[in-house]
Structure 1
Amino acid sequence: MMASPRKKQLEELLGPGFVCFGHRGMRELVPENTLKAFQLGLQSTRYFELDTMLTKDEVLVVIHDETLNRTTNGEGLVREKTFEEIQTLDAGSYFSPKFAGTKVPSLESLFYELPVSTIFDIEVKSNEDENERKLLAKHLVTLLSRCKANHRVFITSFDPFLLEAVKRENPALLRGQLLEEGDSLKQDFVSEPDLFLPNYKGLTKDTMIELSSMSYSVIPYTMNDPKDWERMLPWGLRGLITDRPDLFLNFRKA
């Protein structure tokens, strides 16, 4: 049996109305999870989803994949490179030559480079090793405290045991459980999440009714098609995550 979510605290974080999160910034127009992606996204929203993990020297960097291969000109595992080594890499040219020289940012830098009104859905990545979970949680909680950013974030993961590690480090932080398409709500979510973030392809109206009956907020990912927006918004979603917050803004205006 899941505990009651902290609805009031979540509402204080998100504010009134429907919220649109830019997925990894504005990843269809700019290299994902880079400062430029979030800066461009600010023209359409102040809410962003991002991914973070630790480097070899235990710096939290903003990157999606475990390896550097896809989004930089480097190779190998992020956890096997120091932050200084990662900073020498080009994280923009894979997307377009005009973004050559773009860097992989540290998570800390975003709290200072973006407006204080910016709200982050921080997806924490781990390889499901218990020691790494503890280390990630410790560094994340310490960083958020140092940057005075606790009131600007909620923490998400597919790994409920990683969320539980975050809970042990700081129970006050809001936690969101990510769900793959086909994941069951019957499993044991040890961290007692405050909201659910399902793959929109696996979200049904019946599931929404079930979650709503338990007072859970639901923010599905990654919804890019206006047909899905039109179909699913009446279900009572709290928000959505999309690669194109600019297009969603135009959709809402229309």
Structure 2
Amino acid sequence: MNFLELLSKPALIAAHRGANSLSPENTLSALKKSIGRADFIEIDTQLSRDSVAIIMHDDTLLRTTNVSKIEAFNSKKPYRVSDFTFDELKSLDYGSWFYKNNAKTEPLLTLHDALMFIKENNLFLNLEIKDMSGAFGDEEVVDTVIKEINDTECSDRILISSFRHEYLKMIKTKLHIPTAALVEDSHPKELLSYLRELGVDGYCLNDELVDKKSVEMLREAGFFVGVYTVNSAARSRELFEIGVNFIFSDSLYKDKV
């Protein structure tokens, strides 16, 4: 089964940034905790200063690492990910902020290792490419991500999404892989035409933007629909009833719904 075949199934739940209510988000531990609890996993990727693809959501390291406690990095405020080399990023702890009394630490997760984990465990992954247009050219970002997917030979298990839609259009010219456009505050004008021009397979939107008419229109036009971030079981049922294919959740794992 490939990712598009998976999306043909109803009422799918994606573990948002891994099982992030059980382990620190976007770490290998969070991916491991997702097994058996979700239909697929969602994580975020961006590049280090020296163009290594790593798994990280925020533009800065402040919230989910110990970077502010390391005196040697004081000169790098506001701690943008793109200002740190891969070796510098590897020196940080990505877990103690999550655990009580800072009892545990977690290492940096690379895109390569995340993809190998997905492949070795026969899982499915929604990979969100963060908007890095302020630090890297679009082609460098896309080519770096595609190289990792090709090297690990797992394109059949991946859905790529992004708020930077230029990435998605470019990816379709380089790799046969499903893609989804992410939006937050408003729909693009002439939505169906816009999505067809991008060549995407799906559309992922903020829960506050969802309405039954739009979902029906998108589904009838052949697009899959995903909604983020849904942490209410009642709301998830409402969304599935109007035709939403999948939701992203921090807590609604399959053994809890």
* Range class of TM-score, shorter chain: 0.7 to 0.9
Distance 2:42 2:149 in 1: 16
Query: Relative to structure 1, is the Cα distance of residues 15 and 209 closer, same or farther in structure 2, using a 3 angstrom cutoff?
Result: closer
Task: Find out whether 1:106 has 2:110 as its counterpart.
Answer: yes
Corresponding residue for residue 181 of structure 1: 185
Distance 1:94 1:153 in 2: 29
Deviation at 1:132, TM superposition (A): 2.2
Distance 2:125 2:51 in 1: 21
Task: Find out whether 1:147 has 2:140 as its counterpart.
Answer: no
Distance 2:62 2:126 in 1: 24
Task: Find out whether 1:74 has 2:78 as its counterpart.
Answer: no
Q: Which aligned pairs between 1:117-132 and structure 2 lie closer than 5 A?
A: 117-129=122-134, 132=137
Q: Which amino acid aligns with 2:204?
A: L
Q: Check the 8 A contact 1:137/1:162 in 2, yes or no.
A: yes
* Alignment partner of 2:212 out of 187, 205, 208: 205
Q: Deviations 1:219-240 (Å, cap 9, x if unpaired)?
A: 1111101221122211112111
Distance 1:106 1:149 in 2: 15
Q: Deviations 1:202-251 (Å, cap 9, x if unpaired)?
A: 100011111122111111111101221122211112111101142x5432
Unaligned residue ranges in structure 1 (runs of 5+): 1-7
Deviation at 1:15, TM superposition (A): 6.1
TM-score between both structures, scaled by the size of structure 2:
0.86
Deviation at 1:83, TM superposition (A): 1.4
Q: Deviations 1:158-188 (Å, cap 9, x if unpaired)?
A: 1111212222322x11110011132335253
Give every structure 1 segment of 4 or more consecutive aligned residues whose post-TM-superposition deviation is greater than 4 Å: none
Deviation at 1:10, TM superposition (A): 5.0
Distance 1:98 1:42 in 2: 25
Q: Deviations 1:11-58 (Å, cap 9, x if unpaired)?
A: 325464432110000112211000111111113124101000011121
Task: Find out whether 1:41 has 2:34 as its counterpart.
Answer: yes
Deviation at 1:201, TM superposition (A): 1.6
Cα RMSD for the two superposed structures: 2.1
Task: Find out whether 1:135 has 2:144 as its counterpart.
Answer: no
Query: Relative to structure 1, is the Cα distance of residues 195 and 48 closer, same or farther in structure 2, using a 3 angstrom cutoff?
Result: same
Identity between Structure 1 and Structure 2 (%)? 24
Corresponding residue for residue 256 of structure 2: 250
Deviation at 1:9, TM superposition (A): 6.9
Task: Find out whether 1:28 has 2:21 as its counterpart.
Answer: yes
Query: Relative to structure 1, is the Cα distance of residues 226 and 126 closer, same or farther in structure 2, using a 3 angstrom cutoff?
Result: same
Q: Check the 8 A contact 1:137/1:166 in 2, yes or no.
A: yes
Distance 2:28 2:137 in 1: 26
